[in-house]
Structure formats: structure tokens, C-alpha cells
Amino acid sequence: MSTELLAPLDLAFWHLESDAHPMHLGALAVFAPVPGVAARDLLELLGARAAAIPRLRMRVRDVLLPVGGAAWCTDKDFDVHRHVRRVVLPGADFMTETTRLAGVLMERPLGRGLPPWEMYLLDSPGDGPFAVLVKLHHALADGMRAVAIGAGIFDQIASTRAGRSAERRRAPVPPRSWLPGPYEAAGMAMDRLGDVGRALGVGASVVRASRLDLRATTALTARSSGTRRLATVRLDAEAVQRVRRTEGGTANDVLLAVVAGALRRWMLERGEPLPVADPRALVPVSRRRPGGAATGNRLSAYLLGLPVGEPDARERLRLVRTVMDRNKAAGPLRGAGAVAVLADQLPALAHRFGAPLAGNAARMLFDILVTSVPLPRSALSFGGCPLRAVYPMAPLARGQSLAVALSTYGGQVQVGLVADGKALPDLDRLASAVHEELCDLHALVPTVPAPHEGRLAGSC
């Protein structure tokens, strides 16, 4: 992997970034301590495993062709110590200090002359738990690929990759022509015509769905300050599944309804009037095919009005399920939410000069990002220390104050809330509202616990 052009959507994410709007994804992984494993050893292990991931040795450079384009190239001066650092937290509450510091670190844009990623080992002076904060630029990967890249630090993934790397080194590489044959060229031309037609349809949907009257400002669409605050929530995954089994739909439908209900109770508690129009959520959808390219972004999205005006929790879930069923029936390549598909069809020069305009237009389309990030189901560890939780973090678009990311691991749904620190100083209250909303929704549905069922932290 020496040189590789950035795909159009990757290029869009690269140019959308500004100091106040860093475009990196994040994850906060929390581990239980193991006697005899020192922080210095963990830091050395973290650096060694990160350095062994080829993708993390790549940086972005401009190219002459295509005009306005950029490419990934191997950083010949790569030094993992520029990217991996240790921070010792004060002896206060571990999770409180960890989330506070993670919010501060998420404010800082990644260096653009280096491979665009950072990892931090966050630990306390004693022998308590520790965390690893991972920051990856959105141009490097979408959520699914970010998980695949970041998972390289875990014991189970690192050992598997080491074996595969050895096999690849032994396997002969057949010669390959970079020029397509006549049938391939014809197929590429037909695919391009189909892409253009699809992009025109998406573009028309985006225009129809855009809101031109943006005078109403809520906490979700306050003026950006460039600050970041992080809050985390743990939900009982079995409680989510019980609601799903009783009410129908998917676990993701239940979680979207929980987010809607949490926003409602949070707005009412802070004395903020409920919006006349439901806030719009952009719900990303992966377009990645099994066995497809392992790099770059392959995304579309659905648009969903979060029914915060509906007072009944079960009715909110029904409304969410109805709209999501409609979105899925249309498919991820249709509708205004597929704006990423439109971005994928634009030339490099358009992304270079049109990124500021596109970034400012995000509020015309949606108010909040709500994304689900899949994680491996098997138990994971780092340096022999068991993984206890992973809180994903999504970037904020211009003019927006909140992004919600969810992942499921170890029988829990872990929620990462990333907010503009000045617009949402009471983010911890919203985090509590998320947990309360699931408990209230769960209490409303006629469910029967399974025999001998245990209760997890964060359960209702």
C-alpha cells in the first residue's frame, strides 16, 4: 500500500474539516486492570500494535491529477510516538475524569501533515481501570472500517492479523494490469451512467427535503463554539430486545425511539419549548459489500424525524418504526438521506472548493446524527486486561450541537454523546434521560424476564 487516491466521499470529509469542526471519529475503550500489568508496558504494547496496522502509516498528500484530488501515501518518516501518548488522570472518579479529558482531546484537530490518527492511554496513579481513546479521521474510514482498524489493538485481533500477515508475505502476487480490458471498460461506463442517474435522483430529493427557514434556533442547532463535551450511558441490551420482541421492529428502532424520548424529557426539564417540527436525525447506513474494499467510506443514510412532540413512549416507537420501515423499503440509495451518495459522484475540485458551502448547508438537512457502530461479539482484551465497555464518538457537523453513537458489547448498549460544550453544558442530564427513557419504555410493555436472568449495570 504505497499510494492510493482518496475516494470522493473521503475527500469531502477531508475538506469539510476546520479548527472548530474536526472531522474525526472516536472511541473510548475502558478496561479492567490485571495485577502485574504496568502502564508503561501497556503504552509500549499500544504503540507496537498501532504501528503494525498498515493503514495507520498512511498520510494525505495533494496530487496533480485529478485536479483538486489527494492521495494516501506511506509516511516514510512515520514515528508511532507522535501518535500514541499516555495521560495520568488525577485521583478523582475515574469515569468522570476520563470523559472530561476525552471531550477536551476530541476538540483538537488531527495534524494534517501526519497520518491522521491518535491514541491515548488514560490511567490513574493506582491499580484501577484504564482507558484507551482512539481518534481516526473520517477520511480514513467510516464507522465499520474504523472499528476494524482500531480493533487491531486487541489481543484477539492482533494475534489473528499477525498470522494473516505472514501468510500474505509467503503467497505469490500475480501480475496485474492497471488498464481495464474492453469488457471491464464497458462495465465501468455503464456503472458510471447508473451512478449519475442515481445522483440526480438523490440531488432532487435533497433539494425537496431541505429547509430554507432556519430562523428557529434550539440547543441542538446553536452556534458552534468549537468546544467538545462527552457523556456516556450504559443500557441493558436485553431490555432493548424485550421491547423489540413485544413491539416489533428492530433494536435500532427501539434505540432511536429512546433517543427521541430522552430529547423530549431533557427539553422539558430545561424549560425549552418543544420544537414545532420534529428534529431530524441523520441515520448512517453502510453500503459496504462483503468482501469489498477494506478502505475508505461507503456510506448512505436515512432521514428520520424524531417524534419529540409525541407524549406517549409506545407511540413514539411506532412512529419511528413506521418511518424506518419506509426508508428501508426505498433503500439506502434513494431519498434525501443518501446525500453521501451524491457526494460520491462529485469531482475532486468540487469537494476542495465546495466543502465550506456543503458544511454550512448540513443544518438545512438534519439536526442530529444518530449512528450505530457494530462491534465484535466475542470477549476482547488488551494486554490481558478485559474490555469492559466501548463508547463510540461521532463528529459534529457545522451548526449542530449533538451527535449520538451507540454500540453493543458484553450485554450492554454503550452510548457516546458528543456535544458542543457551550451549547449543551448539561449533557450529563441528557445522558441520564437516555437511561430513564429506556426504563420507562420497558416498564410500559408487557414483558416477562427469562428465568434466572441477571441484572447488569445500567439495567432498568
To the nearest 10 degrees (0 to 180), the angle between helices 251-269 and 313-330 is 130
Q: What is the pLDDT of residue 143?
A: 63
Q: What is the pLDDT of residue 350?
A: 62
pTM of the model: 0.84
Pick out the chain residues at pLDDT < 70.
Answer: 1-2, 142-144, 160-218, 287-299, 332-364, 447-458
Q: What is the pLDDT of residue 193?
A: 37
Q: What is the pLDDT of residue 329?
A: 86
Q: What is the pLDDT of residue 409?
A: 94
Neighbours of 450 (CB within 10 A): 9
Looking at the DSSP assignment, which residues form a beta bridge with residue 234?
414
Q: What is the pLDDT of residue 265?
A: 96
What DSSP string runs through 69-110? -EEEEE-TT--GGGTEEEEEPPSS-HHHHHHHHHHHHHHSPP
Q: What is the pLDDT of residue 67?
A: 81
Q: What angle do CA 445, 254, 299 make, to 5 degrees?
A: 170
What DSSP string runs through 138-187? TTTB-HHHHHHHHGGGSHHHHHHHHHHHHHHHHS------SS--HHHHHH
d(CA 240, CA 416): 17
Residue 152 has which C-alpha cell? 487491531
Please provide residue 392's backbone torsions phi and psi, each rounded to the nearest 5 degrees: -75, 155
Identify which of 292, 385, 1 has the alpha carbon closest to the alpha carbon of residue 173. Answer: 1
SS3 of 228-253: the string is CEEEEEEEEHHHHHHHHHHHCCCHHH
